[in-house]
């Protein structure tokens, strides 16, 4: 607290990111990073751009990247917005599309950054409970609102909402924007991008942090009709004209173009997920079906916080949320087969 702070800053309750400890040989399964490296073509493009060109500002419109994303999804660059990680894209979404005189709606269990943006921008919100099995029931969202946002697959549950349900909601909620945060969609979901041309109030947000293994580069994007994209551009150009630097732009373009690396690594994660789920079930864990690069597991006989502490003592970190309804669950990122084996061996020891 300080008398120099703006009053708003006193009232903020900032997001707490998963820790990034600097410990050697750590099995780091706590922040849903991809265990496989980024595309070698992306790394080569970044290296090639480390030169005298860095004295120049980057393209403020990010046009080459918007074109690469548009090409990947069969859209036009006017339907693509790019930003410094999808967290920044989401921040612009909250400011640019959700400040209306009605509450914003999102699930009671979802990405914990959403209420933080509401606090920053003074947006009123109401959470909508998921079912006991953590399912999102779209009918619960048919009420007056300033907008609707949810992650699909959801975080931290991993559960996927079928595309038909999203379309059902879009057909009935026509007066506000519906944002689908698809940070994990490449690990087993069908993207709502397929609906963008038919629904002017649909915005899909994605990131290169998870499925393209570039969390350190900070690149995210939004897909929607030009009317929505223009709102995000207006906010961006009132905040920072150059959110993506030259290295991020060229690296992201190359990553979007390297489909072979993308397909191979996401397939490896999905295959490991299936194996890991089977093994965790044999150890007595329960988990909802995951379409993401993590699983959300609970053990009927063991306290989740104690399990997390026991894993940490063995050099393995997973995420535990001290929050209502989910404080007996662990969110475990899918690692390499070796990391997953280390996790299973440690859990076998702890549970024995």
Ligand X SMILES: *Cc1c(COP(=O)(O)O)cnc(C)c1O
Binding site for ligand X (CB under 6 A): 85-87, 111, 151, 155, 181, 183, 207, 209, 215, 220
For ligand X, which is the closer residue by CB, 242 or 279? 242
Q: How far is the CB of 73 from ligand X (least distance, A)?
A: 17
* 126 Cβ neighbours under 8 A, 6+ residues apart: 103, 104, 105, 145
Of 155 and 317, the one with the shorter C-beta distance to ligand X is: 155
Residue among 128, 99, 118 nearest 14 (CA): 118
Shortest Å distance, C-beta 347 to ligand X? 24
Closest CA to 144 of 124, 164, 166, 168: 124
Q: How far is the CB of 175 from ligand X (least distance, A)?
A: 25
Which of residues 183 and 346 has its CB atom nearest to ligand X in the complex?
Answer: 183
Q: How far is CA 67 from the centre of its chain?
A: 22
Least Cβ distance, residue 220 to ligand X (angstroms): 4
| Rounded (10°) angle between helices 40-48 and 246-257 | 150
Comparison of 220 and 251: residue with beta carbon closer to ligand X: 220
Does residue 62 come out as left (phi exceeding 0), alpha (psi in the -120 to 50 range) or beta?
left
Q: Which is nearer to ligand X, 32 or 302 (CB)?
A: 32
Which DSSP helix (H) or strand (E) runs through 229?
Answer: helix 226-236
Q: How far is the CB of 155 from ligand X (least distance, A)?
A: 4
- DSSP assignments along 66-129, one per residue: HHHHHHHHT--GGGEEEESHHHHHHHHHHHHHS-SSS-EEEESSS-THHHHHHHHHT--EEEEP
Take residue 237 and report the two structure tokens written for it: 């150009």
* DSSP for 266-328, written as a single string: HHHHHHHHHHHHHHHHHTT-B-----SSEEEEBBTTB-HHHHHHHHHHTTEEEB---STTTTT
Burial 170-190 (b: 16+ CB within 10 A, else e): beebeebbbbbbbbbbbbbbe
The least CB distance from residue 300 to ligand X, in Å, is 27
In the complex, minimum distance from the CB of residue 2 to ligand X, in angstroms, rounded to a whole number:
28
Question: Least distance from C-beta 282 to ligand X, angstroms?
Answer: 28
Of 219 and 316, which has the nearer Cβ to ligand X? 219
Residue with Cβ nearer ligand X (31 or 350): 31
Q: How far is the CB of 210 from ligand X (least distance, A)?
A: 6
Q: Which is nearer to ligand X, 90 or 343 (CB)?
A: 90
Write the DSSP symbol of residue 197. T
Q: What is the CA radius of gyration of the chain?
A: 20
Q: Which is nearer to ligand X, 219 or 304 (CB)?
A: 219
Find, among 277, 299, 275, 298, the residue nearest to 289 by Cα.
277
Comparing CA positions, the residue from 322, 329, 276, 279 lying closest to residue 300 is 329
């Amino acid at each position: 607290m300080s008398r120099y702070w703006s009053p708003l800053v006193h009232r903020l309750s900032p997001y707490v990111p998963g820790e990034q400890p600097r410990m050697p040989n750590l099995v780091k399964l706590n922040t849903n990073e991809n265990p496989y490296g980024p595309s070698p073509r992306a790394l080569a493009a970044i290296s090639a751009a480390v030169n005298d060109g860095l004295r120049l500002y980057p393209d403020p419109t990010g046009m080459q990247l918007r074109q690469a994303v548009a090409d990947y999804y069969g859209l036009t660059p006017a339907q693509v917005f790019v930003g410094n990680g999808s967290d920044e894209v989401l921040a612009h979404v909250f400011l640019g599309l959700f400040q209306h005189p009605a509450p914003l709606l999102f699930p009671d269990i979802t990405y914990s950054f959403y209420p933080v943006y509401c606090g920053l921008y003074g947006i009123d919100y109401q959470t909508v409970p998921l079912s006991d099995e953590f399912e999102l029931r779209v009918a619960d969202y048919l009420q007056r609102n300033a907008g609707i946002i949810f992650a699909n697959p959801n975080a931290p549950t991993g559960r996927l909402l079928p595309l038909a349900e999203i379309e059902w909601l879009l057909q009935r909620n026509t007066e506000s924007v519906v944002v689908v945060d698809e940070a994990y969609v490449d690990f087993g979901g069908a993207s709502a991008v397929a609906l963008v041309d038919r629904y002017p109030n649909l915005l899909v947000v994605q990131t290169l942090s998870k499925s393209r293994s570039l969390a350190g580069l900070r690149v995210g994007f939004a897909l929607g009709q030009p009317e929505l994209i223009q709102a995000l551009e207006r906010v961006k150009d009132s905040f920072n004209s150059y959110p993506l630097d030259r290295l991020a732009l060229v690296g992201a373009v190359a990553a979007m173009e390297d489909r072979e690396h993308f397909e191979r690594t996401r397939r490896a994660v999905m295959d490991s997920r299936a194996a890991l789920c089977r093994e965790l079930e044999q150890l007595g864990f329960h988990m909802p079906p995951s379409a993401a690069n993590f699983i959300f597991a609970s053990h009927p006989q063991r306290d989740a916080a104690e399990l997390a502490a026991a894993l940490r003592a063995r050099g393995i970190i997973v995420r535990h949320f001290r929050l209502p309804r989910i404080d007996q669950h662990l969110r475990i990122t899918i690692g390499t087969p070796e990391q997953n084996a280390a996790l299973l061996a440690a859990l076998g020891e702890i549970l024995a």
